[in-house]
Structure 1
Amino acid sequence: MTDPAVRVADAQEIASDLLVIPNHGVTLVPNIGVVGGTQAVLVVETGIGTANAERVLAFASEVAKGRRLYLTTTHFHPEHAFGAQVFAGQATYLVNRAQADDLKTKGPGYLEMFRGFGGPVARRLDGVRVPTPDVVYDDGYDLDLGGRIVRLRPTGRGHTKGDQVVKVPDADVLFTGDLAETGQFAIFPWFPPYDTDVSGVRWLAVMDRLAAVGPRVVVPGHGDLGGPQVLTDVRDYLRELREETWRRRDSAMGEAEIVAEVRASLIERHPEWVGQEWIERGVGCLCAEHAAPPAA
């Protein structure tokens, strides 16, 4: 596996005092945001491990030039949040309550699972602790950076139970985390019986709502930045996945046969996308949801 190193030197300013450190398609590297106002700067995502987070913190501190620092993460997965310990004492870390619960209850298991990947991923996680947020909010949080309000909004269950999006209204920019990716099949962390929180049905409903807003710039969790089409492409794919899976489930096909047929159909429609392994996970999730509605 490629070393999941964050390259802060490649940061791009996509609006006034709003930078994105792009992931360049590297596995387990998220797109990272640095959003400034007159009084404070918000960092969105940490990268995986302390070395990446130290680079991000140093870059954000240079941008801030003495302004107060905040940190938020879009969800609890390691490449997004498992560097937050580096920010302790330097920035205020705030997340939605469901994400804080995910960090506490599922974070340790994910830390061990990712360490089990070995190689550069395990090395990146050496010395990492699951972070504890400083501020936890419930229905939404409007963060005043000074002349710029950033809206943190939980979406409800989708890719995880604790997804949140980060909106910068004056620049019309939306950070989606892994609710949206570009150039790859949607990531379904469907690992029964240990983790079955992802919901294809609710995820599709979230994407319907987000696509209806149509921001100018969408910063996906992974992949190239884009416009509103990023959201509609993910929404349309999730709808395809649901319809192709449920149509076969209704005909009483076995899950293995459903996986094979749906996989072939979706790869034919999206031959350039990476992450084909996530199709099977998505089919498994939607087969389970076909049998019983997803729990809240």
Structure 2
Amino acid sequence: MPSEPLTHDPVVEISQVEELADDLVVLPNRGVELVPNIGVIGGDHSVLVVETGLGPRNAEKVLAFASEYAKGRRLYLTTTHFHPEHAFGAQAFAGEATYLVNGAQAADLADKGPGYLEMFRGLGAQVARQLNGVEPATPDLVYDDTYHLDLGGRVVQLRATGRAHSKGDQVVSVPDADVLFTGDLVETGRFSIFPWFPPYDVDVSGLRWIEVLRRLIDTGPRVVVPGHGDVSGPRLLADVRDYLELLRDETWVRRDSAMSEETIIAEVEALMTERHPEWAGQEWIGKGIGCFCTEHA
């Protein structure tokens, strides 16, 4: 989710497929803004696609790849959260795949989808072109907290995490391969994206996000597929948790001294960029500080 207009096309590429385990591949985002990592997970009789890409044209490419990969197996689709590059291509799968998400994400798609569609269309001509003709999809199957999807010889676990990066975050785990898809709860090589846009959207919670990461760390996955950035190992979960905890602590110690939010942002942004000079997305540090200021006890 960029905060400034894009100057490139956010296009999913199918040419560099990364195999993570038997019958489990990722279409990597190649570091391209507004392109997510997309998973394709196979079992004996079914295949699950994780994420659609931005808009129907990207999703049509993903569907074509998944259909060829499936070789006649039944198709399912899920998305880690409702943000446009992850879920706003679901309409391309209508009639071809069963779309399933948790209840909070389904509510986000219905309630906040139209507003995010307009916001993203303002991010430049390339983004608007990909979003042309988007109709936010209605999931075929909605679950509450956990759903075990039997693909045939492989059961994939879909788990609603509760409010964190968004109200309807979901992780997807493949226990037999020790692979975890996190969506934007975790990203490689960048500061965590806080969609903190008061008064329009204040669903992100830094405190709950930290708790979610602690729980995910306890599951001990072998491979972590972030929403964006390189596929990594379990250390990535700890790195993001450590950053969020430090962001909270440095914000709160200044908040305790009655420092203005403007001064807090200036000081903490400088500290964080010094700590992680190689990370992208510095514009999101201030959003995170604003969120943690409201969560200050």
TM bracket, shorter-chain basis:
over 0.9
What is the correspondence of 1:48-197 to structure 2 with a 5 Å cutoff? 48-197=54-203
Residues 169-192 of structure 1 deviation map (CA, whole Å, 9 limit, x = unaligned): 000000000000010000000000
Residues 108-129 of structure 1 deviation map (CA, whole Å, 9 limit, x = unaligned): 0000100111210000000011
Equivalent position SS for 1:267: helix
Asked if residue 259 in structure 1 is aligned to residue 268 in structure 2, the reply is no
1:236 to 234, 242, 249: 242
Distance (whole Å) between structure 2 residues aligned to residue 82 and residue 8 of structure 1: 18
Quick one: which amino acid aligns to residue 64 of structure 2?
A: A
Distance (whole Å) between structure 1 residues aligned to residue 89 and residue 17 of structure 2: 19
1:268 to 274, 277, 290: 274
Q: More deviation in 9-18 or 70-79?
A: 9-18
Q: CA RMSD in A?
A: 0.6
Equivalent position SS for 1:80: helix
Distance (whole Å) between structure 1 residues aligned to residue 288 and residue 50 of structure 2: 27
Quick one: which amino acid aligns to residue 213 of structure 1?
A: T
Distance (whole Å) between structure 2 residues aligned to residue 87 and residue 203 of structure 1: 30
Distance (whole Å) between structure 1 residues aligned to residue 257 and residue 28 of structure 2: 43
Quick one: which amino acid aligns to residue 100 of structure 2?
A: L
The CA deviation at 1:212 is: 1.6
Equivalent position SS for 2:221: coil
2:223 to 209, 214, 217: 217
Quick one: which amino acid aligns to residue 246 of structure 2?
A: E
Distance (whole Å) between structure 2 residues aligned to residue 222 and residue 54 of structure 1: 20
Asked if residue 25 in structure 1 is aligned to residue 31 in structure 2, the reply is yes
Asked if residue 283 in structure 1 is aligned to residue 284 in structure 2, the reply is no
Distance (whole Å) between structure 1 residues aligned to residue 205 and residue 104 of structure 2: 15
Number of the residue aligned with 1:203: 209
Distance (whole Å) between structure 2 residues aligned to residue 11 and residue 59 of structure 1: 10
The CA deviation at 1:146 is: 0.2
Count of matched residue positions in the alignment of Structure 1 and Structure 2: 291
Distance (whole Å) between structure 1 residues aligned to residue 250 and residue 31 of structure 2: 28
* Percent of matched pairs sharing the same residue: 72
The CA deviation at 1:211 is: 1.1
Quick one: which amino acid aligns to residue 43 of structure 2?
A: G
The CA deviation at 1:196 is: 0.2
Residues 81-134 of structure 1 deviation map (CA, whole Å, 9 limit, x = unaligned): 000000000000000000000000000000010011121000000001111100
Distance (whole Å) between structure 2 residues aligned to residue 290 and residue 130 of structure 1: 35
Distance (whole Å) between structure 2 residues aligned to residue 24 and residue 214 of structure 1: 25
Equivalent position SS for 2:295: helix
Number of the residue aligned with 1:294: none
Q: Which structure 1 residue ranges, 5 or more long, are not aligned?
A: 292-296
What is the correspondence of 1:5-24 to structure 2 with a 5 Å cutoff? 5-24=11-30
Distance (whole Å) between structure 1 residues aligned to residue 200 and residue 265 of structure 2: 21
Quick one: which amino acid aligns to residue 166 of structure 2?
A: T
Distance (whole Å) between structure 2 residues aligned to residue 173 and residue 218 of structure 1: 6
Distance (whole Å) between structure 2 residues aligned to residue 10 and residue 59 of structure 1: 12
Distance (whole Å) between structure 2 residues aligned to residue 45 and residue 236 of structure 1: 27
Quick one: which amino acid aligns to residue 81 of structure 1?
A: A
Quick one: which amino acid aligns to residue 250 of structure 2?
A: E
Equivalent position SS for 2:270: helix
Distance (whole Å) between structure 1 residues aligned to residue 221 and residue 89 of structure 2: 28
Distance (whole Å) between structure 1 residues aligned to residue 100 and residue 17 of structure 2: 23
The CA deviation at 1:205 is: 0.5
